[in-house]
């Protein structure tokens, strides 16, 4: 198992060195945040890259790559703090908090801020040697709120929905010529499908662009990620773009690797095979036994349904 893990890492890291971009530059889904936060003292580290092409002033199309990543730490199971690397824009800070935990009957609600420090306007892609280079969409300071709900408990489909509103990078520039115009500026959302316990497929609108991608968890520590972003430009012609020098007028492809470590403090592990030990609270012990028996019955019913 260890040899296989090392082999996968060696295969993925060269891709990371050759690619990079907006997807996976922040903790969350593809290019939108999530109401699911890290556990207390759990650390998430990711590095990824995006391949993209842009036409310069000599009408020559060039393939470029840019690297991005983030490092975040969970705090008290209610918040996260960290930083993100935005390519040519450098480093900035991020912070997010959980207002309401998701349960069976209610959604999860979170808020956050991104690109807290650094330049006022972050330009992820730059081409200072080309006077016709055009990039109206910035990555400046952003505030957002988000609601998420997993519907797999209610319908026979493993689907989770996220809807949010944000400022800054979640809004389209008035100068931009995106393939689709957001009728509600600042609104973003995503649909998550869980084909298996180790994989997720994501379709999202990040407020400006249409993205699609997925995750595959090798184990609890390592996750491989891939995405295609700004897919709306696959359905538009070059004539519809204000200028072919705008790097934001083309689809981009990203690969990344995320590493989760910890939690390092107050770590709790459940052993389903461990026998219940004696406790002074006999009522609580009996309730726990009944809960475990019901869970076993539900699992058996699910297995009978599958078979």
**Which tens digits make up the pLDDT trace of 82-111?**
998 877 667 889 999 999 998 888 899 999
Q: What is the pLDDT of residue 172?
A: 75
Residue in the block written with tokens 């897919």: 231
What's the pLDDT at 307?
A: 67
pLDDT of residue 246: 57
Q: Which residue has the tokens 């650390």?
A: 43
Q: Which stretches of the chain are DSSP H helices?
A: 2-18, 282-306
List the alpha helices (DSSP H) in 201-281: none
Nearest to 250 by CA among 179, 200, 198: 179
Q: Is 14 exposed, middle or buried (0-12, 13-18, 19+ CB in 10 A)?
A: exposed
Give me the residues of the chain with pLDDT under 50, please: 1-21, 131-135, 240-245, 269-280
pLDDT for residue 302: 81
């Amino acid at each position: 198992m260890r040899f296989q893990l090392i082999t996968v890492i060696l295969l993925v890291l060269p891709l990371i060195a050759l690619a990079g971009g907006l997807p996976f530059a922040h903790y969350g889904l593809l290019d939108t945040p999530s109401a699911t936060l890290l556990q207390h003292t759990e650390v998430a580290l990711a590095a990824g890259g995006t391949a993209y092409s842009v036409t310069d002033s000599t009408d020559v199309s060039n393939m470029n790559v840019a690297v991005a990543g983030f490092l975040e730490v969970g705090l008290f199971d209610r918040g996260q703090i960290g930083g993100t690397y935005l390519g040519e824009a450098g480093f900035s800070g991020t912070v997010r908090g959980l207002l309401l935990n998701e349960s069976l009957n209610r959604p999860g609600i979170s808020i956050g801020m991104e690109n807290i420090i650094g330049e006022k306007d972050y330009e992820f892609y730059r081409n200072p040697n080309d006077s016709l280079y055009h990039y109206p969409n910035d990555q400046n300071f952003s505030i957002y709120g988000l609601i998420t709900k997993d519907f797999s408990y209610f319908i026979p489909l493993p689907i989770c929905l996220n809807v949010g509103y944000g400022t800054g990078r979640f809004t389209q520039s008035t100068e931009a010529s995106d393939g689709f115009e957001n009728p509600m500026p600042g609104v973003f959302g995503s649909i998550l499908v869980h084909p298996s316990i180790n994989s997720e497929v994501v379709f999202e609108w990040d407020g400006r662009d249409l993205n699609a991608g997925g995750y595959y968890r090798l184990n609890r520590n390592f996750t491989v990620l891939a995405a295609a972003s700004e897919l709306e430009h696959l359905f538009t012609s070059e004539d519809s773009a204000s200028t072919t020098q705008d790097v934001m007028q083309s689809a981009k492809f990203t690969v990344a690797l995320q590493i989760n470590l910890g939690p390092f403090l107050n770590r709790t592990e459940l052993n389903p095979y461990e026998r219940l030990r004696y406790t002074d609270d006999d009522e609580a012990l009996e309730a726990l036994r009944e809960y475990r028996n019901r869970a076993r019955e539900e699992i058996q019913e699910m297995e009978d349904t599958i078979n």
